[in-house]
Chain A
Amino acid sequence: MVKLEFFDPSGTLEVTQAHAPRLSSLAGSKIGFVSNEQWQAFRTLPLLKEMFEADYPGIRMLPIDTFPQGNANIGSEEVARLVRESGVDAVIIGNAA
């Protein structure tokens, strides 16, 4: 038998930060949206907001345009700062395609 040994070419990954902890409950929570305004976000995100509000009375869903929108903005430190300062418990990010 001939044996060939060779390298895995995919490189290694470094996990340097943990995902945010999940919420214990949506009831009474404050949720924001970070939108790139692409891919029908103007229809999908308002619908999501309506569904959350209908299924979880007392939930505080921020308006879709609370934070700067658009591909050019949503990855910025400025948006991250505004999200942190808003006191939201979580954000929903959309839409990728």
Chain B
Amino acid sequence: MKNAVSGLGLAPDAAMITFPIDLFVPGSDLAPLKARKNEFYDGLTQWKSDYAGSEGAAPMLSVEGATYEDALAKANHLYITNLWGDGLPVWPATRERVDWILRGTPLARAHRIGKFPPRGGVTTVETCAIALAMAGGRPEYLPVLIAAVDAFLDPESNAEQLQAASGSAFPVVIVNGPIAKQIRLNSGFGCLGPDPQQPAGASIGRALRLIQQNVGGALPGIGAMANYGGLRYTNVVFAEDEASLPDGWLPHATRRHGFARDTNSVSLAFANGGTNIRRRGAKKETPEEDATQGMYRMADFMRVPNMPGLIGYEKGTPGILMIPGVVANAMAALGWTQQSICEFLWEHSKIPQSNLKRAGATAWIEIDASAVTRASLALDPWPITAKPENFVLIVAGGGHPTNSWWLQGYSPRVLGRLIQVPETFEELLTEADRDLGCGSDYCRV
């Protein structure tokens, strides 16, 4: 609530009466409401804001220790006690480290990207650099983070709701263009997890999460009511495996946003879950059987009443399907295209109306803000999204044909942003080679 009002430009407190959740569940005892009625009366007549203000430049904090290790520990304690950490060790965002990271952008330090919802913290390039410093990031990661933050703050992202809501939304950042490989962002084996050879995704995603929490106010149980908050330590940041795209297939950013091939860009969507799908056959399937059975199995995973996903029914996405390059090429050889795959999934993930009704899902569709979504109730079976083009189909993942991955959507839009790098970007990459090893394919284990 404090977040919500400060995000609207009001002082970050409000005349609010809060109760334990028990009052808000079916069949609840309303006695606490009666007992505290005077608080409502006072809220309308007596309440005053106590907010003293916090405008101006980001202040500096300091700690002292007998040794550097001692000071580092105290800095981490201070981050935690101020509710700015995530439980893992952070690099203190010293001026030296922040200045180093700011070399990664042509934008001015004070360049304002927007106000991060719902708390409304002013978010500048420096804000991003501070978070990236804390997350163990490097200068060459900063352009991707800035583009992701800019997409996040798009009014159409619905970030204000998704930051606070109980449905555990997390941002998914898909990078296209040569920058992915240049900064060591994974598109292959283990691309959604930790990877010391390609560590960029973890730092960028963790920095975005720290901004969401520290600047946007998405603090668990206070500003973010996500029941579970899965995948929120680092969010999800990965690259499309463009080198493995079959002939005739387009990079996602080209297909969805119209960005020219080999343009550096991010696509940002929200998801509320992720699951592995074993799509490969187990016996003596023909290539055609292997492809078709795998497609049916993926559609079966999608055929669920994902009510949060309704916010993206018309213009967003039901989810992000990742298939490895080896699978994409096998399917392309059989004549499958990106469009025909999405059409197959759309057709075969439809849910019978009888299933929607018995689960009460029809009520959620009836109250949706979108007329297109409400009108979809007339369809039986019910498509899980308004049109096949809403599926996000990405070629990514290790070069192995067994699995695909489905990130269930919770996203009113899929937002694209171009990535801006500084003229000195090559120097930064050379320094990264010096610090982290050569980074090219032949160096990888």
Contact = CB atoms under 8 A, between A and B. Distances in A.
A12 B56 contact: yes
A2 B70 contact: yes
Nearest to B129: A7
A15 to B, nearest CB: 5
Interface residues of A, number: 45
Interface string A1-30: 111111111111111111100111110010
A37 to B, nearest CB: 8
A95 B24 contact: yes
A51 to B, nearest CB: 5
Given A5-B94, A23-B44, A24-B45, A10 B84 contact: yes
B93 to A, nearest CB: 5
Interface stretch (B5-13, B192-200, B413-421): B5-13
Given A1-B64, A4-B75, A7-B93, A55 B30 contact: no
B119 A9 contact: no
A54 to B, nearest CB: 9
A50 to B, nearest CB: 10
Contact of B66 (A2, A5, A17, A31): A2
A9 B58 CA distance: 7
Contacts of A72: 367-369
B66 A13 contact: no
A15 B11 contact: yes
Contact of A7 (B67, B98, B123): B98
Interface in B1-34: 1, 4, 6, 8-12, 14-15, 21, 23-26, 28, 30, 33-34
B64 A51 contact: no
B34 A51 contact: yes
Contacts of A14: 9, 55, 115, 120, 122
B58 A7 contact: yes
Given A55-B41, A71-B369, 14 more contacts: A1-B65, A4-B65, A7-B93, A7-B130, A9-B131, A9-B215, A10-B58, A12-B56, A14-B9, A15-B6, A22-B44, A24-B45, A70-B367, A97-B21
Interface of B: 1, 4, 6, 8-12, 14-15, 21, 23-26, 28, 30, 33-34, 37, 40-41, 44-49, 51, 53-68, 70-72, 74-75, 79, 82, 84, 92-95, 98, 115-116, 119-124, 126-127, 130-131, 134, 166, 210, 214-215, 225, 367-369
15 contacts: A2-B71, A4-B65, A4-B92, A6-B61, A6-B94, A12-B122, A13-B119, A14-B55, A17-B8, A26-B44, A40-B24, A47-B34, A48-B37, A52-B40, A52-B41
Interface of A: 1-19, 22-26, 29, 31, 39-40, 43-44, 47-48, 51-52, 55-56, 70-73, 90, 92, 95-97
